[in-house]
Amino acid sequence: MTKYMQPINPIRVYQAGDTANFIHQVFAIGITKVDYSTEVTFMTVNGMIMPKSNIMYAEVLIEGKWTAIEVHRHSQIVD
């Protein structure tokens, strides 16, 4: 089961194209627990569901500055 939640701060994701990179604004983040791992998907403002594997870069707006979203090996989702 996937749990969707809206981010507090704006998020945008970059997708690589053949001739250009595309930027999508994120409306919601979907989190699915699969065995001992977690799968993340992004729902864009226009309704596209994008798995993490299709995204080359993601940023969040914190205090007026776009900051890269990175995976930290100690980060865990708490139920």
Cα-based distances in Å from 35 to 1, 51, 56: 12, 18, 25
What is the torsion angle, in degrees rounded to the nearest 10, for the CA atoms of residue 31, residue 15, residue 22 and residue 2?
-10
Distance CA 7, CA 27 (A): 7
Domain layout of the chain by residue ranges:
2-68
CATH architecture of the domain 2-68 equals Roll (2.30)
Residue 13: helix, strand or coil by DSSP?
A: strand
> pLDDT tens for residues 12-41?
999 888 888 889 999 999 988 888 778 889
> pLDDT tens for residues 46-79?
989 988 888 888 999 999 999 988 765 555 555 5
Half-sphere exposure of 14 (CA within 13 A, CB side): 11
C-beta neighbour count of 26 within 10 angstroms: 20
